[in-house]
Amino acid sequence: MAIKEVSIGDIGTRAAFADGEFKGEELMINMGPSHPATHGVLRLKVELDGETVVKCDPVIGYLHRGDEKIAENMTYNQFVPYTDRLDYIGPIHNNITFAIAVEKLAKLEVPPRCQAIRVLCCELARLQSHLLGCGVYAMDTGALTVFMYTFTEREKLYTLMEQLTGARFTTSYARIGGLARDIPDGWLGRVLKFVNELEPVLDEVDKLVSRNRIFYDRTVGIGVVTAEDALAYGLTGPNLRAAGVPVDLRKDHPYSGYEQYDFDVPIGRNGDSYDRWLVRLEEMYQTIRIIRQVIDKMPEGLWYAEEAKKILRRAKTKF
Amino acid sequence: MTTEAIDNLSQKLEYLSNRPSLDYPAFNCPQDRILDCLQYCKKELGFDLLCDVTAIDHFETSPRFEVVYHLYSTRNPAYVRIVTPCVGDENPEAASVTGIWAAADWHERETYDMFGIQFTGHPDLRRILMWDGYPYYPLRKEFPLAGHEVDLPAADVVERTGVKVLPAPMMGGPFHAGQTGPMSKREPRADDESWTETKLQKELEKPHKPRELSEPKE
C-alpha cells in the first residue's frame, strides 16, 4: 500500500487520496461465537471492504443438540418439552406445531375449543417473537428506547404465559391430541386487556422509528433480498413476504381453523431491511385483530380429543 | 397448474411411482432421473421453493438411504414430496440439486453431515453442524444416543501452540452426557446401561437382533 505524505491541515487533499489511492486489502473479521451481540451462538467469518461485508461464512453448529436423535428414543409426548427449546423466543408455537404434525400422522382431529386456544397461543407467540425482533432491530440501528417499550410488553406476555402454562419460558403446553389443561378463569379477559394496551404502544413505536430520518438512512436500500433470491434460497415467513412474495400458510393451507378469522397479510415491495421492519410491525397489528376474533368466538367444550388416549401407545422398535 | 396436474405427475413422468402419504402427494423417483424430475417440477409445475432436503435411514435394508425433497409452489399453494434412493449402502451417493435451487446448498450439507450421503456435483460439500474432521454421521441408526468419544477438534492448535485443550463442560459427545462425571448425576438416563456406547459396541460384534422393550404395565 502506497503512503503519501500530506500536511495535517489539508483535509481536502487527504480525502482525495483516501478515495483514489488508499485501496487496501479486504479485512477478515471473526464475529462470534461469543460476541456479546450474537444472541444465538454462531460464528460469522466476514470479509470487509471498509464497512461493507463482501463475503460471509457462517459457522452454525454451536447450538446443535441433535433433537432428532433424542426424539428417536422417545415417545411423542415425551418430546414436547424439547420443542420448547427449539425457539425460546416464542416457545409455545413449537409445542403446537409438533403436536399438529403428530396428530396428522395419527389422523387425530382435535375439538374446536382446542384449535381456538392453539391459534390464540400461536398468535401470542408471534407477538413475543416480533416484539423482541423489532426491539433489538431498532436497538441495533441505534434507537435504544424502542427496546424498552417492546420489552415491557413482552414481560406482560410472560406473565400471561405463566398463568396459562405455569412457566414463563418452557411452556410445554401442547399435548398430542390436545393441550395440557384448559385456560384458567378470567385469562381471556387479561389477554384482551393486554392487546388493548399493546396497540397504542405499537402506534408509539411506529411514530418513534418508522419515519425517523436516522432509521430511514440505515435501513432503506440496505440488505436487499429480491423475490427471486428469496425463493432460490428458501426464505420463509416475514422475510419472504418482505421480498414481495405473498406466501402465508395461514391463508394458503389454513390449519387449526385459521380460515374463520379475518386478517390481512402484509407484503413488502423492495425486500430491504426497512420492508422487513414494516412487515413485522404490521403483522403485530394483524395478530391483534386475530386475537380479538378468537376471544370473541371462543367455543365451549373439551380442550383435548377423547380418542387420543387410544392412539398413543409406546413405540415398539427402538434404536 | 392444478392439483390434478400434481396427482397425474406419475402418468406424465412414467418413471415416478406413487408413495403412500397422509398429507401431500408424494412420489418415488429413481436416482438416475431425479434431476429431470425436479427440473420438471420447478419449470413446468412452478414448485419454486425448496423447503427441505433430508434423508431416511432404512437400517439393514437395501437401498439403505433415501433422500427426501419437500417442494412448495408459492404461485399456486401446493406441496409435493419427492423421494429417491441413494446409490450404495455404506457410502451412499445422490445427485446434488444445487443447480436447481440455491437453497439446496445448506440442506445437502446438513444431510451429508448427519447421514454421510455424498452429493455429487455439490460446489462445497463439507460439514455444517459438526466440526471438520468429525469421524461419524450422527443421524445414522447405528450411532448411539450417548455419542462416541472423539479427539478434540483442535489437535492442530495443540501441535502448533503447545497449549493444552480441555473438553468443554458438556462431555461425552455432542448429544448427551457421558457415563462418568458430574453430568451423569444430574441426568439419570446417562446411567442407563441399555443404550451406552460400550454395550452397543459388544452388541455390534454379535449378530444383530433387535432389542426388545418391556411392555408398559397396564
Residues 226-255 of chain A whose Cβ lies under 8 A from any Cβ of chain B: 231-234, 236, 245-247, 252-253
Q: What is the pLDDT, as a whole number, of residue A120?
A: 96
Q: What is the DSSP string of A198-267?
A: HHHHHHHHIIIIIT-HHHHHHHTTSS---HHHHHHTT--HHHHHHTT----HHHHS--TTGGGS------
Q: Which residue has the higher pLDDT, A311 or A202?
A: A202
Q: Is residue B75 part of a domain?
A: yes
Are B167 and B108 in a shared domain?
no
Q: What is the DSSP string of A258-299?
A: GGGS-------SS-SHHHHHHHHHHHHHHHHHHHHHHHHH--
Are B116 and B50 in a shared domain?
yes
Segment A204-256, tens digit of pLDDT: 999 999 999 999 999 999 889 999 999 999 999 999 999 999 999 999 999 99
Taking each helix axis from N to C terminus, what angle separates A144-165 and A112-140, rounded to the nearest 10 degrees?
Answer: 160
Q: What is the pLDDT, as a whole number, of residue B174?
A: 45
What number of other Cβ atoms are within 10 A of residue B88's Cβ?
15
Question: What is the number of alpha carbons within 13 Å of residue B162 lying toward its C-beta?
Answer: 0
Question: For residue B83, which of B15, B142, B140 has the smallest C-alpha distance?
Answer: B15
Q: Is residue B82 part of a domain?
A: yes
Domain boundary at B120, B136, B170, which? B120
Task: Look up the CATH number of the domain holding residue B33.
Answer: 3.30.460.80
Q: Which residues pair with A175 in a beta bridge?
A: A178
What is the pTM assigned to this prediction?
Answer: 0.81
Under DSSP, the state recorded for B190 is: G
Peptide bond into B63 cis (omega under 30): yes
User: CB under 8 Å to A27, separation ≥6 — which residues?
Assistant: A47, A48, A49
Q: Is residue B162 part of a domain?
A: yes
- A234 vs B49, B79, B176: nearest CB: B49
Q: What is the pLDDT, as a whole number, of residue A17?
A: 55
Q: What is the pLDDT, as a whole number, of residue A109?
A: 92
A34-57 as b/e, with b when 16 or more CB fall inside 10 Å? eeeeeeeebbbebeeeeeeeeeee
Measure CA A283 to chain center.
11
- B103 vs A234, A245, A252: nearest CB: A234
C-alpha cell at B155: 489437535
Domain boundary at B93, B120, B147, which? B120
Q: What is the pLDDT, as a whole number, of residue A125?
A: 95
Q: Residues in chain B with pLDDT < 50?
A: 170-178
Q: Is residue B150 part of a domain?
A: no
The answer on pLDDT for A295 being more than 70 is yes
Taking each helix axis from N to C terminus, what angle separates A187-205 and A112-140, rounded to the nearest 10 degrees?
Answer: 30
Taking the CA atoms of B153, B154, B158 and B164 in sequence, report the sign of the dihedral they define. Answer: negative
Partner-chain contact A69 B131, CB within 8 Å = no
Substitution target from B52, B130, B145, B197 for chain A, most A beta carbons within 10 A: B145
Segment B137-181, tens digit of pLDDT: 999 999 988 888 777 666 677 778 777 666 655 444 444 444 555
Segment A49-88, tens digit of pLDDT: 888 888 898 888 888 888 999 998 888 889 999 999 888 8
Are B114 and B9 in a shared domain?
yes
Nearest C-alpha of chain A: how many angstroms from B145?
A: 7
Partner-chain contact A232 B51, CB within 8 Å = no
Are B111 and B196 in a shared domain?
no
Partner-chain contact A246 B74, CB within 8 Å = yes
Peptide bond into A33 cis (omega under 30): yes
Q: What is the DSSP string of A114-165?
A: HHHHHHHHHHHHHHHHHHHHHHHHHHHTT-HHHHHHHHHHHHHHHHHHHHHH
Are B100 and B37 in a shared domain?
yes
**Closest B-chain CA to A42:** B129
**Closest A-chain CA to B99:** A232
Are B8 and B110 in a shared domain?
yes
What does the alpha-carbon distance between residue A24 and residue A208 come to, in Å, rounded to a whole number?
A: 39
Contact B146, B173 (CB under 8 A): yes
The answer on pLDDT for A116 being more than 80 is yes
Query: What angle is formed at CA A245 by the lines to CA A242 and CA A249, rounded to 5 degrees?
Result: 100
Q: Is residue B143 part of a domain?
A: no
Are B101 and B7 in a shared domain?
yes
Are B184 and B113 in a shared domain?
no
How far, CA to CA in Å, does B185 sit from each of A310, B91, B168, B192? Answer: 36, 38, 17, 12
Containing structural domain, residue B174:
155-205
Q: What is the pLDDT, as a whole number, of residue A41?
A: 75
A236-271 as b/e, with b when 16 or more CB fall inside 10 Å? eebbbbbbbbebbebebeebbbbeebebeebbbebb
Contact A23, A49 (CB under 8 A): no
Q: Is residue B136 part of a domain?
A: no
Are B99 and B172 in a shared domain?
no
Are B176 and B104 in a shared domain?
no
Q: Which residue has the higher pLDDT, A262 or B170?
A: A262
Strands B78-85 and B26-28: parallel
Taking each helix axis from N to C terminus, what angle separates A187-205 and A144-165, rounded to the nearest 10 degrees?
Answer: 170
Q: What is the pLDDT, as a whole number, of residue B23?
A: 85
ipTM: 0.83
Q: By CB neighbour count within 10 A (0-12 exposed, 13-18 middle, 19+ buried), where does A99 fall? A: buried
Are B84 and B162 in a shared domain?
no
Write phi, then psi, for B79 (nearest 5 degrees).
-105, 155
Q: Is residue B199 part of a domain?
A: yes
What does the alpha-carbon distance between residue A259 and residue A294 come to, in Å, rounded to a whole number?
A: 12
Partner-chain contact A246 B141, CB within 8 Å = no
Q: Is residue B91 part of a domain?
A: yes
Q: What is the pLDDT, as a whole number, of residue A52?
A: 82
Are B200 and B94 in a shared domain?
no
The answer on pLDDT for A319 being more than 60 is no
Question: For residue A68, which of B108, B209, B54, B64 has the smallest C-alpha distance?
Answer: B54
Domain count for chain B: 2
Residue A21: which pLDDT band, with cuts at 50, 70 and 90?
low
What structural domains and CATH numbers belong to chain A? 11-63 (no CATH), 75-308 (1.10.645.10)
